[in-house]
Structure 1
């Protein structure tokens, strides 16, 4: 890995490197989407190439699928896998109970399906994503294109009765056009600032016709691996109630991670 990596990229790398230690030959592995998850896919690709690791990966987006194939990971669908040993993914926010906001990359629907079809979910992230209360990061809401403006109005009305600080709802754009997910849907970003009762909000939002899935991951994550720019990786395991730390040394030699920084 290049020693010219920024502190944030080093943090992402060590988190991915530590999380890759959970993966063993023969496993079916859910592969997340986003810049941090890309590091994980590269780490696993190196293990496939250099260590003979044999896994099957179930990607959570077309972008991740392309990267996984590029680094030599066998890619299969969730229907082929049926159930996964582990899912490793990033997060936009996580709280002390390891509840998450995901979907900044627009793939939270597939990510939630894959995560809930896994024996365990490991989140890889950096310390900046740790919050006391979820909500500073806009909550993504995937909606079908048909009648999305009506769906948006109903969502705004529903937020009036919720324990949130903000209620601004915006359609995610991709240039001059609405952002389109892998499933052909749109995303509404809910700017809530603080979510007082994430479980209640998740249930209410998913009852609204036109809503496909929200980006709240409640009681799904088993452990968070937090990377730091100095090479430390901290693991917080919610099931065992443990916290442990690993230190990685950075070497000034080229390898497959040289082109991952995003």
Structure 2
């Protein structure tokens, strides 16, 4: 395995010394800063820019505390997950950075991104970086690599895969902590457990959907919804945990989208 991690946090700190005058130069030299916008087809509006600058002011102390650790968090996560998935042949690219104060971590264009301004502490970093490394490997490992944009069913599988994996690696944390990368969501988890059957049935009906509104209903924030926010992550985690009774992590990481969809469909019926 080859792992290359770029550290953009020093570039942010240099920009922040002269903010906001150096913004255009900063993002021009480091376009990855805008990746959580551009990979979804959005653009940087003046309003979003001002919101990011406000976040930086609010989180300045956290950014300085986390600045030395972003690369280490990614490297340690890779060291955990690569052997577990028998993925030593896969080359990985990571980016430690200060984002726009929105996403804490994501995978885009084959790269793993970790946004240090959103990371609460070592526990949060450990879970999050491992979760994102799991995504970065699960997408390319099948004989036909998964596309980044796919159906609700495949997305539920992928998010469940990454969360169930961290839950096995770090059993000292609660499932709510694994699903939210930190504390404070026990009531949310209880709501999800109470509505699990109804949510599984609804996801089953929408399994082949690819549009953002449908996926967002189960996986994103905001908007009107019938179930707790992000309940699709919970459903996916329970689904993968059930599959783990009969399958290894290397097997589950290499399933095609067709096999994953079939398994999701079967498990949702069982639930």
Normalised TM-score (structure 1):
0.24
Using CA pairs under 8 Å that are at least 6 residues apart, name the structure with larger relative contact order, 1 or 2: 1
User: Which structure has the highest strand share of the two?
Assistant: 1
Normalised TM-score (structure 2):
0.24
User: Which structure has the highest helix share of the two?
Assistant: 2
